[in-house]
Amino acid sequence: MADPRFYRVAGPFRLAELAEIAGAKLAAGGDPDSRFDDVASLGSAQSGHVGFLENTKYLSALETSRAGACILHPDMADRAPDGMALLLSKAPYKGFALIGQAFHPGPAFEPGVASSAWVDESASLGEGSRVEHGAVVGNGVEIGSRCLIGANAVIGDAVRIGDDSVIGANTTLSHCLIGSRVIVYPGVCIGQSGFGFALDPAGHVKIPQLGRVIVEDDVEIGANTTVDRGAGPDTVIGAGTKIDNLVQIAHNVRIGRGSVLAGHTGISGSTELGDMVVMAGQSGVAGHLKIGSGAQIGA
């Protein structure tokens, strides 16, 4: 069970509500009006908790679990102990994630601007949004509704942020347009100048980086990741893409929808990734390449 000192807990929820949230079917014998307080692993769950089983490797954990309910594939239902309510789903891990989101909807915050934050008078702040202590919001910035701008974040001039987005502490955003429901974790830098120089023995000449970074809806960007703005064309991160910590994305890179980049990956300039590409930890891609949709890249 999540520590309530750190995680907001909603609920309790009725079993029928949880089935609807997860897109699951309540197995025969389950009481639709029984109430549950939280999610938990099968090994630690108690009667008020919902667990899940996706991998047959953990069938033994199911058989000995004290969870009051479990979401699992119909083919595994006969291995559940007597008295456990079952939510049947062909995608139990996804269903469990949806239930977990319902129980833990994210941090609550009081709308407004903290006393030590600075917001330019030309900036706009949507209804229900919050700017935390030490944050700086520049000229012409547009922040949507229900956004959270973390402590000491710097939102550069003319940046636009969509609704329901969270910008973590100590982040720096410039020359970028951020979509809705985007999560940017602490320490991220987006929109800094790309690494481009005309090499010359007499002294390298910097090439102006005149593009932007476009972050589409439902993207997550992990802590201390850096995303350079384009040199002329934009750097684009497609909708639903999830990026881990300590990732480097160079100028002019285009990442398709729903891609997943694990920690310590790097993408060199002007490379294009299709949709649903997976890059494993510490993998790298050279510049000016095209990676097709669905590709999986190992280190």
Q: Which two tokens stand for residue 84?
A: 């456990």
Which of 44, 87, 86 has its CA nearest to residue 66? 44
Please identify which of the residues 49, 175, 251, 264 carries the catalytic annotation: 251
**Cα(177)–Cα(168) distance, integer angstroms:** 16
288 catalytic residue (yes or no): no
Q: Which two tokens stand for residue 28?
A: 């025969």
**Cα(151)–Cα(170) distance, integer angstroms:** 6
Sequence-ordered alpha helix ranges (H) in the chain: 15-22, 59-64, 92-103
Which of 96, 40, 91, 89 has its CA nearest to residue 68? 40
Which of 242, 199, 237, 190 has its CA nearest to residue 216? 237
Task: List active site positions.
Answer: 251
